[in-house]
Structure 1
């Protein structure tokens, strides 16, 4: 059976099987790649987009690499079944191109059921990606130098998920300066520059 799996008629499915195993091993060793926030490129509010994502099995917030692993497995199973069926009926498997085309269609249909089932049994998937404007009203700590108007300095801001972000900060008021180690409240943003009010002596100083 293994030798048959490496023949040209079965080779596409040997490749899909190998890629599936590779992705599975990466996830198994705990690299966390299955939890990456990968954008599908289609907004859920677009006309018909929600239905397409649901049909593909991506509507249930299933991590993309787990969905891909499931799809590869379904294509592999469908391809082997198709070639075995063709051999039983005609005495020979289909040409690999025809077999791959049929397996892709059948695998996609099968994966719709598999992915939706996985999405129901997996723990809830929560993203930690934020929009840059969510850093506003947060407190940043100047890392080095002194922030002055027209002379931004690097500052570290902790978001609501506890993740650190490094942004460029200038004082909101012309006469202010924020030295390294001091904190400031981010009040507005223009492009990549945040403008902040120093915490010292202000009503915004945290209790």
Structure 2
């Protein structure tokens, strides 16, 4: 059986099976590669519709989808070669079997991927952007924050994750000492500008 799988007519499907196992192990060990932002560079409903048609929705990790596609390609290819061997006495040339397997595997994988997406737990990200830290409170950890002399400050986001940022006072005449609580009001590049909580403007917030 192994010799048959390594023969030229079956070799593409054997390789697809090996790649499928490798990708499955990567996803199983949770290396964080499965979830990619497919919508970041996609513009237009036609592209989104194509992804939906392929079964590659926002809830489907890319590696899971690719593993499913490779499994469908492998199974269909083996079925084609086995059927050809039974009917014609020998399997098809590898390129002909691959072409047929691709044509059949894509719609089959769409059905499989849509089924997997319904049973898989939803993917939730706790990643926040730099601008999400604006309007949050933090504590100056060390140093005194002055204009053009930022101090290191700890800010905790809505997910409970701590972020350490450099802050300067919004009012150029102020100095904010270590231990003071501040409100982040804006950002310019890597530096955030803050108001100290003792500021009278914050008493009603």
Instruction: Give TM class, smaller chain.
Output: 0.7 to 0.9
Match of 2:187 in 1: 189
Tell me which of 55, 59, 62 is aligned to 1:61: 59
The answer to whether the aligner puts 1:33 opposite 2:28 as a matched pair is: no
The answer to whether the Cα contact below 8 Å between 1:33 and 1:65 also exists between their aligned partners in 2 is: no
SS of 2:147's equivalent in the other structure is coil
Greater Cα radius of gyration, structure 1 or 2: 2
Tell me which of 144, 148, 151 is aligned to 2:149: 151
Report the Cα distance in structure 2 between the residues aligned to 1:92 and 1:42, rounded to whole angstroms.
Answer: 47
Change (3 A) 1:97 1:133: same
Match of 1:5 in 2: 5
Tell me which of 69, 72, 82 is aligned to 2:70: 72
Moved runs in structure 1, 4+ residues, more than 6 A? none
Gaps of 5+ in 1: none
SS of 1:79's equivalent in the other structure is helix
Report the Cα distance in structure 2 between the residues aligned to 1:104 and 1:206, rounded to whole angstroms.
Answer: 64
SS of 1:178's equivalent in the other structure is coil
Match of 2:93 in 1: 95
Match of 1:138 in 2: 136
SS of 2:127's equivalent in the other structure is coil
Gaps of 5+ in 2: none
> What is the CA-CA distance between 1:26 and the residue it aligns to?
3.2
1:54-96, CA deviations, whole angstroms, 9 ceiling, x for partnerless residues? Answer: 1111225112222122112111112212222332333332333
Change (3 A) 1:23 1:178: farther
Change (3 A) 1:76 1:189: same
Change (3 A) 1:3 1:144: farther
> What is the CA-CA distance between 1:137 and the residue it aligns to?
0.6
Return 37-46 or 145-154, whichever deviates more. 37-46
SS of 1:166's equivalent in the other structure is strand
1:164-200, CA deviations, whole angstroms, 9 ceiling, x for partnerless residues? Answer: 3333322211022334444321111223322111234
Match of 2:84 in 1: 86
TM-score normalized with structure 1 length: 0.82
Report the Cα distance in structure 1 between the residues aligned to 2:203 and 2:27, rounded to whole angstroms.
Answer: 44
TM-score normalized with structure 2 length: 0.83
Change (3 A) 1:183 1:91: farther
Q: CA RMSD in A?
A: 2.8
